[in-house]
Amino acid sequence: MKKAIVLSTIIIFMNSILLLADCSNRLKTNFILNEDKVFDKNTKLTWFRCSLGTNWKDSVGCEGTPKLFYFNEALEDVKQISNGWRLPTINELRSITEEEYENTIINTSVFPDIKNMTVFAPYWSSTHVENMPNLIYYIDFIDNRLDAHSKGYSMFVRLVKSVNK
């Protein structure tokens, strides 16, 4: 019995190491980190690493608490930031998800403020549901839910920019 428990523990430990190695390799191959921004070589998109409401601090990561926004409020805040930054489409948001992580579907080494969210992490997209303009698609980075909600619901915002590196 003890041998079986020890063997099971070793197998679980080795699988954890392989999972971490896979995440680390994915980071090296897909993303180029540059302090508060990350460039995705696959999609050619640049992302803010922190959600709106938090700020990047070297050696710390994202400081503060991500702010919840109603959809129209998010659009207004994005206009003030401008310089090409915008709400991502639902397909762009899906492009940064990775299903192999244990508690999230997003790499918290790349997007560190997600690791502070334990229950839900719904993020607005800019994509309207066809024939239902009051419904906007969102993705929850904790439970991998892709759904739509009314503009009167509050969610988090991660900005993206279409630029070539």
Q: pLDDT digit string (tens) for 120-158?
A: 899 999 999 999 989 999 999 888 888 999 999 999 999
Residues in the chain: 165
Burial class (CB in 10 A: 0-12, 13-18, 19+), 35: exposed
Q: What is the model's pLDDT at position 122?
A: 95
CB 142 within 8 A of CB 119: yes
In sequence order, the 6+-apart residues with CB closer than 8 A to the CB of 142 are: 103, 104, 105, 114, 117, 118, 119, 120, 121
Q: What are phi and psi of 45, to 5 degrees?
A: -110, 145
Q: What is the pLDDT of residue 164?
A: 54
How far is the C-alpha of 79 from the C-alpha of 57, rounded, in Å? 24
Other Cβ atoms less than 10 A from the Cβ of 58: the count is 7
Helix (H, G, I), strand (E, B) or coil at 65: coil
- Per-residue model confidence as pLDDT tens digits over 17-39: 333 333 444 444 689 999 999 99
Question: Residue ranges of the domains in the chain?
Answer: 2-162
